[in-house]
Amino acid sequence: MEPPKAFIQTYGCQMNEHDTYRMMGVLAAEGYAMTNTPEGASLIVLNTCSVRHNPENKVYSFLGATRGLKKENPELIVAVAGCVAQQEGENILKREKGVDIVFGPDNLFELPEMISAVRRGERVLRTKWQPHERRVQNFIPEEWVEQGHVEGCKAYISITKGCDNFCTFCVVPYTRGREVSRESENILREARDLVSKGAKEIWLLGQNVNSYRVGSFGFAELLDGLSKVSGLPRVRFTSPHPNDWNNDLSDLMAERPSICNQLHLPFQSGSDRLLAEMNRGHTIEEYLEKIEYMRAINPRLELSSDLIVGFPGETEEDFADTLRVLEEVRFAQLYPFKYSPRPKTKAMNMEDDVPREVKEDRLAHVIALQRRIHEEDIQRYVGTEEEILIGGAHPKVRHTMNGRTDGFRPVSVVSDELEIGDFARVRITGAKGHWLYAERIDREESAPVATTALGAEQ
Ligand code: SF4
């Protein structure tokens, strides 16, 4: 008999992707096989995100589309997980009669029980937090620590969950709860297991990843430990907060070949007045000083950021301050968003007074400026040599593989020999959009590598 099929639709950030991989593990243990289409599935899970308004709308439109599938197969189980589930809870069950389960991020490992309850004819709501008083919690249960998923050669490890910062625009503290950190040995055990399953690149995840702390053991100590894991050549992490970033972390990054030269450090706005309104806890000067230091000691560092346009009260002057930061820092990658009020947040009580057209104009301006900066900067790669980690085949072009530099630049290289998880020395021959194009070069020809060490074991 064929195993029952499960389909998971994931919206949002890497944390949600990670939760999806964890759900896949839980469902595989229950005998489910994963499928890439909702048609024919016995279980559909929507793993949702509510950080922006759009993904939330997508959830309801997807749920509308599952009604037909449920008509065809009344046994089909539909579950809504993630931040929208946590936030909306019972409202989803009331609004969508075809939904059987609504569960929050803290209830993921209870999925088998919830499925059994549906089979007994119940509709299930589980959005209860694990107790928050404990600031240290091994929130991946012991029996699941070594059941992590490697996708290609990449894997995620969640090291903290939740956030205590309460930025006034952000829904995360309400949908993911207060911040807790995992014991370092629990994390390192997961890392060693993922490496044994073929992981070459591990991403440490946390809503405020660098505020990780268990007693006197902080993010720097954890990063130091991971950079020494045998057989793990690349470590990345996201997202750090500027307040918890310090020069010691910059020094460690510059020093350790296996800690990738990539940093996503959100600045959100160039205006000190708005940064205070957002409760970011730093000035733009403090942010820029940290960047200046890390660039001075680590010129290969690639930076990216999030920013919000049209936050309540944003004037032309505030917006000009934001543009100045873009010109000064010249980010490799930028994720700009139009402000939209999110439920329960403090900014929800502020007047959303920047007209929609102004937000759109400002967003278009930011995108155009960033495109110009990017086009100018990416050309400096042409003619250089890079070491890339191959992540997969080019989806459209035959005999071509795609990889990433340690700064996270995407590179396409013509090759019939390279496989996922291989490292390759390449010479960049062209650049278009966000992509670099390269030819493989023999190791004998190449200059000594000053970047990521292959299979670094320190
Ligand atoms: S630090 Fe990040 S996750 Fe935490 S409240 Fe602020 S924006 Fe949200």
- Among 2.40.50.140, 3.30.750.210, 3.90.1150.10, 3.40.50.1380, name the CATH number for the domain at 135-260: 3.30.750.210
Domains 135-260 and 272-379 share a fold: yes
Name 192's bridge partners: none
Evaluated on CA atoms 354, 355, 360, 361, the torsion sign reads: negative
Q: How far is CA 115 from CA 30, 70, 101, 146, 337, in A?
A: 10, 16, 8, 23, 37
Ligand 1: which atom is nearest the Cα of residue 176? 3
Which pLDDT band, with edges at 50, 70 and 90, does 128 fall under? confident
Secondary structure letter of residue 135 according to DSSP? S
Q: Which helix (H) or strand (E) holds 377?
A: helix 356-378
Q: Quick one: pLDDT at residue 443? A: 52
Atom of ligand 1 nearest to the CA of 170: 8
CB atoms within 10 A of CB 325: 20
CA atoms within 13 A on the CB side of 59: 30
Does the structure show a pLDDT above 50 at 423?
yes
CB-CB neighbours of 285 under 10 Å? 8
Amino acid identity of 60?
A: Y
**Atom nearest to 239 CA in ligand 1:** 2
pLDDT at 246: 96
Q: Name the residue with the closest Cα to ligand 1, atom 6.
A: 167
Q: Residue 381: which H helix or E strand, with range?
A: none
Angle at 284 between CA 282 and CA 287, to 5 degrees: 75
Tens of pLDDT, residues 224-243: 999 999 999 999 999 999 99
DSSP class of residue 259 equals: B
User: pLDDT tens-digit profile of 263-282?
Assistant: 999 999 999 999 999 999 99
Dump pLDDT digits (tens) for 47-99. 998 777 666 778 888 898 899 999 999 999 999 999 899 988 999 999 999 99
For the chain, the residue count is: 458
pLDDT at residue 164, rounded to an integer: 94
Q: How many CB atoms lie within 10 A of CB 161?
A: 24
pLDDT at 450 over 50: no
What are the tens digits of pLDDT across the range 309-351? 999 999 999 999 999 999 999 999 999 999 999 989 999 999 9
- Return all residues near 157 (Cβ < 8 A) that are at least 6 apart: 18, 148, 187, 190, 191, 194, 202, 203, 204, 205
Centroid of ligand 1 to alpha carbon of 244 (angstroms): 12
| pLDDT, position 453 | 33
pLDDT, position 318 = 98
Tokens 């993630």, residue located: 82
Give the domain ranges of the chain. 5-126, 135-260, 272-379, 382-440
CA of 400 to the centre of ligand 1 (A): 39
- Among 246, 161, 164, smallest CA distance to 209 is for 161
Contacts of 54 (CB under 8 A, 6+ apart): none
Q: Determine what percent of the chain is predicted with pLDDT higher than 70.
A: 95
- What H or E segment, with its residue span, contains residue 327? helix 316-329
CATH node for 272-379: 3.30.750.200
Average pLDDT of every residue of the chain: 92
Kindly report the CA angle at 424 between 421 and 428, in degrees rounded to 5?
130
Please identify, by atom number, the ligand 1 atom nearest to the C-alpha of residue 171. 8
Terminal-residue alpha carbon distance, the chain: 49
Mean pLDDT, residues 393-418? 95
- Say how far apart CA 32 and CA 23 lie, in whole Å: 11
Domain 382-440 top-level CATH class: mainly beta
Helix (H) or strand (E) holding 346: none
Q: Over 90: is that where the pLDDT of 381 sits?
A: yes
Q: What is the mean pLDDT of the segment spanning 168-182?
A: 92
| Interval between CA 69 and ligand 1 midpoint (Å) | 37
Helix, strand, coil % (nearest 5) of the chain? 40, 25, 40
**DSSP output for 31-57:** T-EE-SSSTT-SEEEEEE--SSHHHHH
Which CATH class for the 5-126 domain? Answer: alpha beta
Q: CB within 6 Å of ligand 1 — which residues? A: 163, 165-167, 170, 172-173, 207-208, 241
d(CA 201, CA 186): 18
Give the DSSP letter string of 272-300.
HHHHHHTT--S-HHHHHHHHHHHHHH-TT
Q: How many Å lie between the centroid of ligand 1 and the Cα of residue 205?
A: 13
* C-alpha 14 – ligand 1 centre gap (Å): 15
pLDDT score of 451 more than 60: no
| 133 confidence band (pLDDT: 50, 70, 90) | low
pLDDT in tens, 136-153: 888 899 999 999 999 999
Give 161 Cα–ligand 1 centroid separation in angstroms. 11
List beta partners, residue 136.
Answer: 181
Output the furthest CA–CA distance in the chain (Å, rounded).
Answer: 67
Is the pLDDT score of 457 beyond 90? no
pLDDT for residue 136: 84
Give the number of the atom of ligand 1 that is nearest the alpha carbon of residue 207. 3
